Structure 1
Amino acid sequence: MSLRILVSEFLIDGLEALAQTRYGALGAVCFLLIVVGAKARNGTCTAVGAVLFALLMLQA
């Protein structure tokens, strides 16, 4: 396992935990959409997750 993959997994887990504690379950769902869209190279999924997360941040 390369160092790049290991660091990215720790970074993703840390950001997901931060989003879940600050913005609740919906924040975790938004972050999950962003990550899944990025890994699958699906722009629509990534954009939906980013827009929902931005709306959630504006509401908070």
Structure 2
Amino acid sequence: MPVLALLTAVLVVAFEQLVEWKYGPTGIVGLLLLTVGLKAKNPAVSSAGAVVLALLVTGPAL
């Protein structure tokens, strides 16, 4: 069980670093809003995070 928890934590941190590297601070804010909204079961906050991430992914490449 501890190995599974450690592996999950490593994957989450790696995913967060990938989002920050590719999409910058705005990507981290979107991911944070999505995560907080899901944990708090608040659809408005999670939807805002999802919209921010969707706009970053579909927006023009800089």
- TM-score w.r.t. structure 2 length? 0.76
State the match for 2:40 in structure 1. Answer: 40
Which segments of 5 or more consecutive residues in structure 1 lack a partner in the other structure?
none
Give the match for residue 23 of structure 2: 23
* Structure 2 unpaired stretches of 5+: none
Q: CA deviation at 1:37?
A: 0.7
Q: Which has the larger radius of gyration?
A: 2
1:50 aligned partner:
50
State the identity as a percent: 37
Cα RMSD (Å): 1.7
